[in-house]
């Protein structure tokens, strides 16, 4: 049925057809009767990667197939979301090996975006934890692949934005935990220099990321808060928490019921950050033990927070620059702060080494921030792209809604190899999205 | 642990109902035409909720097989939920008897056939709960789906009669009247979001209705009032409407 669909940024919004499936023969029937389709999970990528004239929702293909509690191995269909997986595994002392900043994504989406988390510098991205997976490719075969078997298909599917086919089953390894809590440390950094030094100093922590205040100039340019954490041991818990160390109390979620005027969210984040920076962190450093949810998923507590950017939507701009190109980071941050078009807060993280075909991460700095869609924005982002290119960086396809094709082809060193593998498995361009057409991957 | 039998386990509604009961620690028996297709659901229920599950081949329109099917169940279920249904195509069914018969036999005759078998067992044992998923479409025939609607009307009347009879034997019957629900069955219809439930909402309502021994529930709840209005429109006006 024809409906209006947009991903998390509410930009772009298109009118399209969406079908679902709960059994494999249903998806085969659908593919047979359509000339093009893209798989779509929970629609939490920000831009147009999972938008197309025909999309197929995996959300009903959400069965858990196996859970080896002894060895921490989980196997499921692709439409199950991370929050459901956490509910199953955490009480048994296991955690996701890698998780992005929201738990409302599907496992298929996690693979197609090859998601990274606060532990990228230690544990890499999601693809490194996959044991094997099934993909329905362009000739409607279901192929089981892994880093060792059908490796071409595997590596072009991890971070491949659904262009090799529909991911239907994923088997992956979990991380052992003793509690559902995180021992967290928050450290104030007075400027970018200080912040980068802190990242280096605390690089042995499994989890790390920082909030940066994009509006500061002069000595305070790039001031922020570094947040690092480790899974807490039972000894580190309070007496109350220790009673059921692997169980968290259910919390009620707030929801943003409708689109707010676009200035609201910025005002809210300014307030939240200042509160954190000035009041909560009057000391330079704060240490505490908190449930894993607010540590990994602070924004998930407000369902539909994206509506805070208003009806026109927003784009999230996330790039990565090589480690030695710190001046590039300064240049871009300056440009953003001068233009005043972006959100007040940006997230900074240092990636570790990454060895994959088309995944976003590479060793270096990654910065992400939101830009409400308005006149002049895309011209401005094109200018930022230039700088990113100049410093040898690239943009995250899962956030992208507007990058020019030449930027993609110049910034992803394996673009051609990726395109060749797509041709092998998706020669008839059965799997294509607005993004893949825009980037000339399926044109 | 008590056991629930779900007849027609392949649908979205059935998945939601199975999960709701499993989450409340019921063992689950799944019955579907294609047993292989529900194997993943069985695994899912076991791993998520740590309950016992089993699955059986069941074809709603193969009436003769129903008594044998019911007798083959290793444990007799405490609750039986008839979820299966077939919306079909009204337009096709108007001229194609095969389609019309399939609509009538799946939604009405098949339901009567299997629930007769279940009811006999429950009546003899003086225990059990039968849940029938009918539809608000059965409350008044409309041009857009009166084949489906009339089959559901028959089913609703059957359930009410069955409830009346079995009440005296200590067996409870719940009639469920869902309005619009987002499922694969309705995927091609344009449904008003405000009036349309998710399968999980329906499943929760059914679980609560069973626990509270409700007779007839509408889900979402306001459909009771919508149908009250629709039923009160005089026929001379109703027949002119395009519904």
Q: Tell me the domains of chain B and their CATH numbers.
A: 3-239 (3.40.50.720)
pLDDT at site A279: 59
CA distance A88 to chain B (A): 6
B239 touches chain A (CB under 8 A): no
Q: Find the catalytic residue in B86, B108, B122, B148.
A: B148
Distance CA B97, CA A162 (A): 43
Q: First CA to last CA across chain A, in angstroms?
A: 25
Judge contact between A123 and A105, C-beta under 8 A: no
Q: What is the mean pLDDT of chain B?
A: 96
* pLDDT tens per residue, range B61-108: 999 999 999 999 989 999 999 999 999 999 999 999 999 999 999 999
Which of A421, A391, A395, A420 is CA-nearest to residue A407? A395
Edge-first strand order for the sheet with A73-77 is A64-68, A73-77, A166-173, A130-136, A142-145
**Do strands A13-20 and A2-6 pair parallel, antiparallel, or not at all (unpaired)?**
antiparallel
B37 touches chain A (CB under 8 A): yes
- Break chain A into its structural domains and give their ranges: 64-177, 181-402
A126: DSSP letter: G
Is A67 in contact with B47 (Cβ distance < 8 A)?
Answer: yes
Distance CA A403, CA A315 (A): 11
CA distance A330 to chain B (A): 47
Share of chain B above pLDDT 70, in %: 100
Which of B72, B147, B57, B159 is CA-nearest to residue B106? B147
* Residue found under tokens 């602070």: A298
CATH number 3.30.70.2520 given to A181-402: yes
Distance CA A75, CA A68 (A): 9
Which chain B residues are within 8 Å of A86, Cβ to Cβ? Answer: none
Average pLDDT in the B226-236 region?
93
Which chain A residues are within 8 Å of B188, Cβ to Cβ? Answer: 1
- SS in 3 state form for B4-67? EEEECCCCHHHHHHHHHHHHCCCEEEEEECCHHHHHHHHHHHHHHHCCCEEEEECCCCCHHHHH
Residue in chain A lying closest to B44 (CA): A64
- Lowest mean pLDDT segment, chosen from B2-6, B88-92, B236-240: B236-240
A-contacting residues in B 165-184 (Cβ below 8 Å): 184
Judge contact between B56 and B29, C-beta under 8 A: yes
The ipTM is 0.90
B-contacting residues in A 72-91 (Cβ below 8 Å): 77, 88
pLDDT at site A310: 81
* Residue found under tokens 């308005």: A374
Is B184 in contact with A77 (Cβ distance < 8 A)?
Answer: no
Judge contact between B178 and B202, C-beta under 8 A: yes
Distance CA B204, CA A181 (A): 31
Which of A295, A258, A272, A278 is CA-nearest to residue A343? A272
Average pLDDT in the B129-153 region?
96
Is A64 in contact with B47 (Cβ distance < 8 A)?
Answer: yes
CATH class of A64-177: alpha beta
| CB atoms closer than 10 angstroms to residue B86 | 18
Query: How does pLDDT run along chain A (443 residues), one tens digit per residue?
Result: 678 899 999 999 999 988 999 998 899 998 998 999 999 999 999 999 999 999 999 999 999 999 999 999 999 999 999 999 999 999 999 999 999 999 999 999 999 999 999 999 999 999 999 999 999 999 889 999 999 999 999 999 999 999 999 999 999 999 999 999 999 999 999 899 999 999 999 999 999 999 998 888 888 888 899 999 999 999 999 999 999 999 987 766 667 666 766 556 666 666 666 666 665 556 788 899 999 999 999 888 777 888 878 888 999 999 999 999 999 999 999 998 888 787 778 899 999 999 899 999 999 999 999 999 999 999 999 999 999 999 999 999 999 999 999 999 999 999 999 999 999 999 999 999 999 999 999 98
Distance CA A368, CA A8 (A): 15
Q: For chain B, what is the radius of gyration of the CA atoms?
A: 17
Which chain A residues are within 8 Å of B184, Cβ to Cβ? Answer: 20-22, 26, 60
Which of A213, A22, A229, A47 is CA-nearest to residue A122? A229
Q: Which two tokens stand for residue A12?
A: 């772009």
Query: B146-167 vs B97-104: helix axis angle to the nearest 10?
Result: 30
pLDDT at site A341: 80
Share of chain B above pLDDT 90, in %: 93
Q: Is B207 a catalytic residue?
A: no
Facing residue for B189 by CB, picked from A1, A26, A63: A1
């Amino acid at each position: 049925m024809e409906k209006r669909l947009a991903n998390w940024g509410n930009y772009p919004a298109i009118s399209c057809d969406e079908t679902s499936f709960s059994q494999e023969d249903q998806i085969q029937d659908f593919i047979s009767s359509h000339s093009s389709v893209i798989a779509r999970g929970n629609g939490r990528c920000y831009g147009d990667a999972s938008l197309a004239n025909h999309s197929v929702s995996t959300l009903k293909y959400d069965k858990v197939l196996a859970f080896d509690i002894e060895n921490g191995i989980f196997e499921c269909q692709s439409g199950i979301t991370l929050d459901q997986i956490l509910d199953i595994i955490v009480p048994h002392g296991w955690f996701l090996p890698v998780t992005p900043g929201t738990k409302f994504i599907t496992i298929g989406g996690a693979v197609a975006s090859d998601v990274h988390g606060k532990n990228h510098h230690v544990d890499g991205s999601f693809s490194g934890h996959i044991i094997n997976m099934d993909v329905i490719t362009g000739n409607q075969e279901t192929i089981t692949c892994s880093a060792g078997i059908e490796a071409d298909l595997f590596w072009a599917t991890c971070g491949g934005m659904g262009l090799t086919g529909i991911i239907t089953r994923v088997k992956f390894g979990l991380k052992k935990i003793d509690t559902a809590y995180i021992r967290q440390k928050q450290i104030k950094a007075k400027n970018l220099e200080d912040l980068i030094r802190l990242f280096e100093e605390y690089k042995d922590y499994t989890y790390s990321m920082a909030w940066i205040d994009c509006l500061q100039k002069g000595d305070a340019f790039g001031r922020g808060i570094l947040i690092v954490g480790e899974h807490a041991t039972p000894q580190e818990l309070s007496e109350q928490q220790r009673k059921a160390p692997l169980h968290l109390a259910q919390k009620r979620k707030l929801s943003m019921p409708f689109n707010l005027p676009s200035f609201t969210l910025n005002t809210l984040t300014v307030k939240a950050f200042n509160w954190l920076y000035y009041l909560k962190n009057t000391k330079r450093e704060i240490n505490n033990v908190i449930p894993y949810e607010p540590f990994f998923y602070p924004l998930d507590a407000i369902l539909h927070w994206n509506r805070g950017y208003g009806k026109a939507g927003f784009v999230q701009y996330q790039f990565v620059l090589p480690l030695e190109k710190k001046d590039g980071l300064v240049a871009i941050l300056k440009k953003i702060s001068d233009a005043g078009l972006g959100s007040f807060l940006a997230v900074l993280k240092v990636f570790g080494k990454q060895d994959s075909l088309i995944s976003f991460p590479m060793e270096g700095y990654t910065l992400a921030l939101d830009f409400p869609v308005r006149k002049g924005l895309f011209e401005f982002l094109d200018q930022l792209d230039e700088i990113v290119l100049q410093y040898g960086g690239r943009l995250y396809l899962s956030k992208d809604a507007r990058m020019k094709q030449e930027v993609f082809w110049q910034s992803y060193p394996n673009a051609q190899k990726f395109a060749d593998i797509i041709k092998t498995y998706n020669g008839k361009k059965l799997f294509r999205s607005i993004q893949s057409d825009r980037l000339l991957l399926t044109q | 642990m008590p056991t629930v039998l779900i007849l027609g386990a392949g649908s979205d509604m059935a998945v939601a109902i199975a999960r709701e009961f499993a989450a409340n620690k019921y063992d689950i028996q799944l019955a579907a035409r294609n047993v292989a297709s529900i194997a993943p659901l069985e695994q899912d229920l076991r791993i998520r909720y740590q309950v016992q599950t089993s699955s059986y081949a069941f074809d709603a329109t193969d009436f003769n097989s129903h008594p044998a099917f019911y007798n083959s169940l290793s444990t007799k279920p405490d609750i039986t939920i008839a979820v299966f249904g077939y919306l079909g195509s009204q337009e096709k069914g108007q001229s194609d008897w095969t389609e019309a018969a399939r609509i009538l036999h799946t939604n009405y005759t098949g339901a009567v056939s299997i629930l007769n078998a279940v009811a006999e067992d429950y009546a003899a044992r003086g225990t059990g709960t039968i849940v029938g998923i009918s539809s608000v479409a059965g409350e008044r025939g409309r041009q857009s789906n009166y084949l489906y609607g009339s089959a559901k009307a028959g089913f609703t009347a059957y359930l009410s009669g069955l409830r009346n009879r079995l009440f005296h034997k200590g067996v409870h019957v719940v009639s469920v009247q869902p309005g619009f629900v987002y499922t694969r069955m309705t995927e091609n219809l344009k449904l008003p979001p405000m009036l349309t439930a998710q399968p999980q909402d329906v499943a929760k309502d059914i679980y609560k209705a069973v626990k509270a021994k409700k007779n007839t529930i509408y889900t979402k709840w306001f459909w009771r009032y919508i149908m009250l209005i629709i039923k009160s429109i005089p026929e001379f006006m109703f027949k002119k409407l395009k519904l």
